[in-house]
Amino acid sequence: MNKAKDNNRNIVNAVLRVRQDNNLSQEEFAEKVGVTRQAVSRWEMGISVPSINTLILISEIFNVSIDAMVKSKGNIDEKISLDSQRERSKFNKGIALIVAGFLGMICLPFLAEWEQAKNMEIFKTAYEHSYNYILEYPLYIILVSALALIGLGVYFTHASEDRFDNAEG
């Protein structure tokens, strides 16, 4: 019986921690989870615990594993911290990819001018406009790579923002 109360205490601490970390009142938390404010109050006082379906819903909404909610408080802090670090890391990687893609796009006109000058020197003929070289072999690869980097960067930052939004509200 004492072990059951200890397990309940872990869930109590987890619910309270998740609610406070997301700066939600009991009423706001209850609304997100689809229960009454009184139910949240009973959970936080240790009178009762959420059903497994409610724990799953809390897990999905606030991106905290059920395992972390059922285990000790130290594990919850570690899990929340690791999840936050992973999301920040994905977001930062996304920003880096976007920046790299834009740098590639910025370099294209200069490389096209260089390609035009090189062709004029070697072949004594060149396209009238340097931007025509962007759609030819060497520069086309840079164009496609830059667009791919920007797309991946947007994907990573958007995926991270969605998780932050779900965790925040």
Instruction: List, for residues 74-125, the tens digit of each pLDDT value.
Output: 555 566 667 777 788 888 999 999 999 999 999 999 999 999 999 999 999 9
pLDDT for residue 100 = 96
Averaged confidence pLDDT in the chain: 84
**CA–CA dist 102, 45 (Å, integer):** 53
Q: What is the pLDDT of residue 117?
A: 93
Instruction: Express each pLDDT in 63-77 by its tens digit.
Output: 888 887 887 655 555
Say which amino acid occupies 74: G
Q: Is the full-model pTM beyond 0.85?
A: no
The correct CATH number of 2-71 out of 1.10.260.40, 1.10.3720.10, 1.25.40.10, 3.30.930.10 is 1.10.260.40
CA 41 to centroid of chain Cα atoms = 31
Q: Give the pLDDT score at 1.
A: 39
Residue 167 has pLDDT above 70, yes or no: no
**What whole-number distance in Å separates Cα of residue 10 and Cα of residue 89?**
29
Q: How far apart are CA 126 and CA 146, in angstroms?
A: 25
Q: Give one DSSP letter per residue of 64-120, joined into a string.
A: --HHHHHS-HHHHHHHHHHHHHHHHHHHHHHHHHHHHHHHHHHHHHHHHHHHHHHHH
Per the model's pLDDT, the better-predicted residue between 16 and 85 turns out to be: 16
Nearest Cα to Cα of residue 8 among 49, 44, 40, 66: 49
* Residue 52 exposed, middle or buried by CB count within 10 Å (0-12, 13-18, 19+): exposed
**pLDDT above 80 for 11:** yes
Q: Between these two residues, 21 and 74, which has the higher pLDDT value?
A: 21
* pLDDT at residue 4, rounded to an integer: 45
CA atoms within 13 A on the CB side of 83: 18
